[in-house]
Structures are given as C-alpha cells and as structure tokens.
C-alpha cells in the first residue's frame, strides 16, 4: 500500500507536468490540449501507477466542473518499457481502463503478450517486427496501433531505425493490414546541449511530413509525434510533439 503522502505527492507532480505542457502549448502557439501526456511507468509499483491514474481523473473532472463541457485535456496514457512488466501490471489496472503503450524494445517471441495488453506499440523499428505484429493482429481480428521508432541522435545505445531509412519503413508499415500507423517516436539525445536535442526533434517532424507527402497507403493519418521526456518536454512541444513521455517528473527518480 502507498501512503496518503505519496498519493498527494504524485498528484502534485502530475499537476506540475500538466502546467508545463499547457505553458509550452501556449508558448508554441499550439491549441490547448493538443499534446497528450504519457506516463512512463517502468519500475513504478502498480499501486503508485493507480494513484497517478486516479489523480489524473480527479484533476480532469475538476477542470470540467469549472469550465463545463468536455475535459480540456485527455486522460494520461501509460507506457511500459518491458513486456514482462506490462504483463505483470496491466491486469491490475484493467478496471481503470487506461490506454497502454509499449515504449521499449520488443523481441519477436513477446509479440503475442505485448499485443494482448498494449493497444499501441511505439517501438517498431524493423519491417520484420511490423510483419509479426500485423500477422498477430489479423489473426485476432483487431487493429493494433503502432509508431515507428527513429534513432534521431544516432547514439549507438538507442533503438530505432536510422533517419535515412525511416520514411521507407514507415510507408511499408502503414500499408500493412492489421496495423494503424499513428506516426513516429524517438528518444531524444542524452545531452545538456539544447540545440542538439531540439534538432533531433525537428528532424523527427520533418520525417513525419515527408511520410505524409509520399501519399503512400494509410500515411495521411500518420501525423503523431511521440517525443520529449521529463527534462526536455518543452523543446519537443515547440517542435510539434503530440505525445510527451514523462517518468521521473511524475514518479520521482527511479531506483537503479
Ligand atoms: C523512461 C522513459 C521515458 C521517461 O523518461 P523520464 O526522463 O523519466 O521522463 C520516456 N521514454 C522512454 C522510452 C523511456 O524509457
């Protein structure tokens, strides 16, 4: 069980991140609510994830009461890195029906488990993986959402297709039955140099525009950009992020 203090802390941190997103939307001249918040929940105990979902739902309800009509922001998305952790936690979150994404690398032997619990795989970086996911989706008679992950920084430790192959891969993935390509995802450069981080996010946006310009099958809707983390979400929003992924800003520093 988690304490009332921990509950209050996660609610406070979540509100702070929502404020940062709203301020960045204004600064970038983008409509309020145009950026969705994904909570990266690796290593976070399921009770604390539940507390975050509950805090989010309370905060959104309060906004509705004040303004009337629809909540001005959509509910948070949850993102897990490891399939094993996704499978362990998802059943304990099912009653809250969160939107669940896989944001970490996916091995082919875990495709079935991942597609059972996640509605979206953000880490597709090879056509072979896309093909396996598509096959699985067709067999189970559903449509699986995917992002193509691009390694914009070129750092060897990062997953994702190289930028020069990203458009070709995305066009091929979009054309597969059983999948819906939502857009591109990246993990930004790990550097304090803001201009380098920002250039990577700008590159992801340019690649995304190029994909739509190909006119390839089912590419016209593939306009989402999942980019930006706790430390740099403002830069990502300036460059067009539609989903930012935060872990530490909401849950605190992870145990290592
Ligand atoms: C952990 C993680 C995040 C969140 O990073 P923070 O720095 O904790 O905000 C975002 N994306 C991916 C793929 C991650 O693994």
Å from CA of 228 to ligand 1 middle: 8
pLDDT value of position 70: 76
Are 181 and 219 spatial neighbours (Cβ–Cβ below 8 Å)? Answer: yes
The reported pLDDT for the residue numbered 222 is 97
Rounded to an integer, the average pLDDT of 216-239 is: 97
pLDDT of 68 higher than 80: no
pLDDT digits (tens, 9 = 90+) for 176-185: 999 999 999 9
pLDDT average, residue stretch 27-48: 97
Weakest mean pLDDT among 15-19, 71-75, 93-97, 99-103: 71-75
Verify whether ligand 1 is closer than 6 Å to residue 243 (CB atom).
Answer: no
Tell me what the pLDDT averaged over the chain comes to: 96
* E-only strand ranges, 81-135: 99-102, 120-124
In whole angstroms, what is the distance from residue 106 CA to residue 87 CA?
A: 13
Residue in 229, 241, 252, 254 to alter for ligand 1 test, most ligand atoms within 8 A of Cβ: 229
80 — pLDDT class (breaks 50, 70, 90) = very high
**206 alpha carbon to ligand 1 midpoint, in Å?**
23
Q: What pLDDT is attached to residue 63? A: 84
pLDDT value of residue 71: 75
Q: What is the pLDDT of residue 256?
A: 62
Chain segment 20-35, per-residue pLDDT in tens? 999 999 999 999 999 9
What number does the ligand 1 atom closest to the CA of 229 have?
A: 9
CA of 82 to the centre of ligand 1 (A): 12
Instruction: Write the pLDDT tens digit of every residue in 127-170.
Output: 999 999 999 999 999 999 999 999 999 998 899 999 999 999 99
If residue 115 lies in a helix (H) or strand (E), which one and from where to where?
Answer: helix 111-117
192: left (phi over 0), alpha (psi -120 to 50) or beta: alpha
May I ask the CATH architecture of the domain 4-250? Alpha-Beta Barrel (3.20)
205 pLDDT more than 70: yes
**Ligand 1 pocket, residue 103 CB under 6 Å:** yes
Per-residue confidence (pLDDT) for residue 150, from 0 to 100:
98
Verify whether ligand 1 is closer than 6 Å to residue 249 (CB atom): yes
Length of the chain, in residues: 256
CB atoms within 10 A of CB 231: 14
Domain coordinates of the chain in residue numbers? Answer: 4-250
């Amino acid at each position: 069980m988690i304490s009332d203090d921990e509950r209050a802390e996660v609610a406070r941190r979540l509100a702070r991140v929502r404020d940062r997103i709203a301020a960045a939307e204004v600064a970038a001249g983008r409509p309020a609510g145009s950026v969705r918040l994904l909570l990266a929940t690796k290593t976070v105990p399921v009770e604390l994830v539940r507390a975050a979902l509950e805090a989010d739902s309370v905060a959104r309800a309060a906004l509705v009461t004040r303004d009337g009509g629809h909540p001005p922001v959509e509910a948070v998305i949850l993102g897990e890195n490891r399939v094993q952790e996704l499978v362990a936690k998802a059943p304990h979150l099912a009653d809250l029906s969160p939107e669940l994404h896989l944001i970490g690398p996916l091995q082919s032997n875990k495709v079935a488990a991942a597609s059972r619990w996640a509605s979206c795989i953000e880490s597709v970086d090879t056509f072979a993986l896309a093909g396996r996911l598509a096959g699985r989706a067709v067999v189970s008679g559903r449509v699986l959402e995917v992002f193509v992950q691009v390694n914009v920084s070129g750092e060897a430790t990062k997953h994702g297709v190289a930028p020069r192959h990203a458009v070709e891969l995305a066009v091929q993935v979009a054309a597969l039955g059983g999948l819906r390509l939502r857009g591109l995802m990246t993990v930004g450069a790990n550097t304090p140099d803001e201009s380098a981080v920002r250039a990577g996010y700008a590159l992801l946006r340019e690649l995304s525009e190029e994909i739509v310009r190909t006119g390839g099958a089912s590419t016209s809707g593939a306009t989402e950009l999942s980019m930006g983390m706790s430390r740099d979400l403002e830069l990502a929003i300036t460059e067009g992020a539609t989903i930012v992924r935060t872990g530490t800003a909401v849950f605190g520093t992870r145990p290592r």
